[in-house]
A and B are shown apart, each in its own frame.
Chain A
Amino acid sequence: MKNQPTTTKDFDICIIGSGAGGGPIAYELAQAGYRVVVLEKGGWFDEADFKKDEMLSRRNIFRSKIADERHVLEEPDGEDWSSHNTSEFWGGNIVGGASNFMSGYFHRLKPEDFRLLSEFGAIEGANIVDWPITYNDLEPYYTKVEQLIGVSGKIVKHPHLEPRSTADYPFPPTAEHPVSAWFDKAANELGLHPLPMARAILSTPYNQRNSCEYSGYCGSYGCHSGAKGSSRAALLDHVKTKNNFQLMTQAKAYQINTDQKGNASSVDYYDNAGSSHRITAKVVTVACYAIESSRLLLSSTGAKHPDGIGNRYQQIGKNLHCCAGGTGHGIFDLTQLTSQQADALKVRGPFFNRALQDWYFIDDKPVFGKRVKGGTIDFVFDPPSPTADANSLKWDDNNNLLWGSAFKQRLKSHFTQSRDFKFEVFCDWLPTDNCHVSLDANEKDKWGSAVARVKVGFHPHDLKVAQYIVDQGVNVMKKMGAQKYYGNAFTSPTSNLIAGGLRFGKDPKTSALDPDCRVHGTDNIFVTDGSFMPNGGSITPTFTIYANAFRVADKIKAQLGKV
């Protein structure tokens, strides 16, 4: 690669990454009239490109290929650690990033999530801290996201409902699956509080976006209607024609250059042909997904930042967290149900949209000795992947290959005589000294830069909490009438829902960013993806990433002053 920039362009702000962390900055600054450039490594694809084709995900069409770039994943292996290369952490190499392929379960954090340490106390071996902001600081931005990104749902009173400045979501709930009523009945009989889950999916048209088409292929499939609130559909599409806005695709940022004061002076990137270019800007915003943002800061060394930008106290890349939790299943045998019940279960299209937060905080002293932070259970039907399902069915219970008529009968039974109803448990993955990002000493990407080495140790407390909640989910499945029900807590890292690595805080010795998400030791480098989060909360983090990015956009506008 040639790394002498061949061109230089100047903007007010350079944003690296166009997903949920970068999109709000780009949108807000472009609407305000600043000269904005976004560097996006992937291409611009939209609704017309998103076919309901299982091969798109089987071939990682909108994700980076392992031959081009990868991560070194270091995992616990008994008493030791083992490592291997992986491409599983790439969420979306595309304008809008991984938000194109989210399910859009949009829960807000709760006030207690912002003060985990003072609310629940320290846990040995975990680096728990309180946030430098409160829920009240973020609340107006959650409200903004609900309108601008488009969140559909219905507020119901429940013991852990977070405070709101608006009475309800701006869009009514998406169409509900008929089996939702079974769930409500079972949950109510168990004394629980079934919640209609809010989704970042439009139930009614808004801002030139169509409402959901209910094809039943959501989640990991890109959205054909534009209803899913991806950063591209909800934000970037609406500023892309502005004269003061430019989004460069196939633009791989590889170096943030800093001046003698330690502030960003420019960003260097490679284009699709491998030529280097330079952007100069008053402000640089990093939003490349948690792992990659740490990597870019670590690799951007300079006179004031010999160990990487902001790394004076070795906080860059530290306190990364995945999503702890687990999954469970209820298998319904359609032959044991009435034809009406079986038909209801077979319906594909409407969303199930139910969650339980009865164990968001657990007050079970015989088990935990004190009140502890718990988690959320979301109940879902997975998006269809029939080929993958069929392939997994070729192994019998003893791990022998099934073939011939026995295989065909198993396929037929699975697809036509049963339905797998799934739940997912989301808990905090406690930050520890064993979960962090560094630069690998050996592996390079196709541009010649060191790849990120991701160490993912977990805390035993996570497993205990997750198992406790998984057991509750299994009880619900049993109560609903599933013929088989089971669940498992896990300790392996999730490939999505990763955050932290550049947590914010007031003390540069224990955090990477200041409360405005500005990198400590700099005046003009901000990080606006999920890296800032000291803990992930017991939910998917995308809603909070969007909200915080809108909050930081206001800080950046204030810093830049008049256009």
Chain B
Amino acid sequence: MLKSASSLPHKAKQGSLKNDYQGPLASGLNRRAFLKTSTAIALLAGLPACKPTQDVTKSNNNPAPSATTNKDIPASVFSDYQKKVLAQVQMQLLPDDGDGPSAQDINGVDYLEWAMTDQQNIQDGDPDFIRKGIGWLDDLAVQTKGEVFIQLDQTNQHNIIEKIAGSSAGENWLSLLMYYLTEALLLDPVYGGNPDQIGWNWLEHQAGFPRPTSETTYRDFE
């Protein structure tokens, strides 16, 4: 089997080809790049930054995916507010449209939170990037619609997502969330997404055997 030596991990995760893309780690992603739409930039010029608190030491009231084996990782990566925002953004990205599972159906937020405890994802800067993006998303929602994202109706939320997808940094943020949604949809259920193989069943994917168990996940080899 031919394998290329030229693969780029960040390309797979984010990889916007829009002109101003440098990647969040290389560029030190800023809110200006994220909000790069003509309307938003004009509005932002005179407004102070308004970001939700980034509290990473929150409660432990979410069911942990079965593969959580590292006892040193924090129980919760996102605040309750951040999780609400992420849940609603994810529902825009993978909606309940009557054909296939929605983000909620595949445990999108719980999976994302668990994935943010993966050392490689942490090294990639993903948890911080996702948290920052939530703040910038709310900035744009307030500036253009007058309310934070989760207070908007479906149509206005859709409009906001469309708007941020027009900038490279915004597109990268959404792309990263999509990256983890595809994992929640199609990885083995042992990792907390794809409950009862709902993603596999929808896409008629035939799993291999033997499958990993909670004692034999990839983290048990690390």
- Measured CB to CB, the residues of A under 8 A from B are 49, 51-56, 58-59, 61-62, 73, 75, 86, 88-89, 102-103, 105, 213, 215-217, 219-221, 224, 322-323, 325, 327, 346, 348, 380, 382, 384, 386-388, 390-392, 394-395, 399-401, 403-405, 407-409, 411-412, 415-416, 424, 426, 456, 490, 492-497
Contact = CB atoms under 8 A, between A and B. Distances in A.
B211 A61 contact: no
A369 B4 CA distance: 31
Nearest to A417: B204
Interface centre among A380, A399, A411, A493 (most CB of B within 10 A): A411
A14 B217 CA distance: 35
A86 B5 CA distance: 8
B186 A496 contact: no
Interface stretch (B45-53, B71-79, B144-152, B174-182): B174-182
A407 B209 contact: no
B203 interface: yes
A415 B222 CA distance: 31
A224 B210 contact: yes
Nearest to B165: A401
Interface residues of B, number: 52
Interface in B165-203: 165, 171, 174-175, 178-179, 182-183, 185-188, 191, 200, 202-203
B204 A416 contact: yes
Given A51-B210, A408-B97, A88 B7 contact: yes
A395 B15 contact: yes
Contacts of A411: 100, 203
Interface in B111-169: 120, 158, 161, 165
B15 A53 contact: no
A490 B4 contact: yes
A410 to B, nearest CB: 11
A492 B4 contact: yes
Contacts of B179: 391, 394
Given A216-B208, A217-B208, A384-B205, A390 B186 contact: yes
Contacts of B99: 405, 408-409, 412
A496 B1 contact: yes
A215 B221 contact: no
Contacts of A73: 5
Contacts of B161: 403
B94 interface: yes
A384 B175 contact: no
Given A54-B188, A394-B175, A496-B1, A415 B183 contact: no
A407 B217 contact: no
B81 interface: no
A51 B212 contact: yes
Nearest to A62: B221
Top-4 shortest CB links A-B: A52-B208, A217-B208, A415-B203, A495-B5
B208 A215 contact: yes
B216 interface: yes
A387 B187 contact: yes
A435 B174 CA distance: 40
27 contacts: A52-B207, A53-B217, A55-B187, A59-B218, A88-B3, A88-B6, A216-B208, A220-B1, A224-B209, A384-B208, A386-B200, A387-B183, A387-B186, A387-B187, A388-B12, A394-B178, A399-B17, A401-B16, A401-B165, A401-B174, A401-B175, A403-B178, A405-B99, A407-B94, A411-B100, A492-B5, A495-B4
Interface of B: 1-7, 12, 15-17, 92-95, 97, 99-100, 120, 158, 161, 165, 171, 174-175, 178-179, 182-183, 185-188, 191, 200, 202-213, 216-218, 221-222
Nearest to A73: B5
Contacts of B209: 52, 213, 215, 224
Contact of B2 (A216, A403, A494): A494
Contact of A401 (B2, B178, B203, B211): B178
Contact of A403 (B93, B186, B200, B216): B93
A380 B2 CA distance: 11
Contact of B3 (A54, A221, A495): A495
B165 A424 contact: no
B191 A55 contact: yes
Contacts of B222: 59, 61
B209 to A, nearest CB: 5
Contacts of A217: 208
Nearest to A323: B2
B187 A415 contact: no
Contacts of B178: 391, 394, 401, 403, 407
Interface centre among B1, B171, B183, B202 (most CB of A within 10 A): B1
Nearest to B12: A391
B182 A387 contact: yes
Given A54-B188, A403-B92, A412-B203, 13 more contacts: A51-B210, A52-B207, A55-B217, A348-B206, A386-B203, A387-B187, A403-B165, A404-B92, A405-B97, A408-B95, A493-B6, A494-B5, A496-B3
Contact of B174 (A56, A75, A403): A403
A59 B217 CA distance: 11
A49 B210 CA distance: 10
Nearest to A60: B120
A396 to B, nearest CB: 11
Contacts of B120: 59
A380 B1 contact: yes
Interface centre among B3, B15, B16 (most CB of A within 10 A): B3
Given A412-B99, A424-B2, A346 B211 contact: no
Nearest to A55: B218
B101 to A, nearest CB: 9
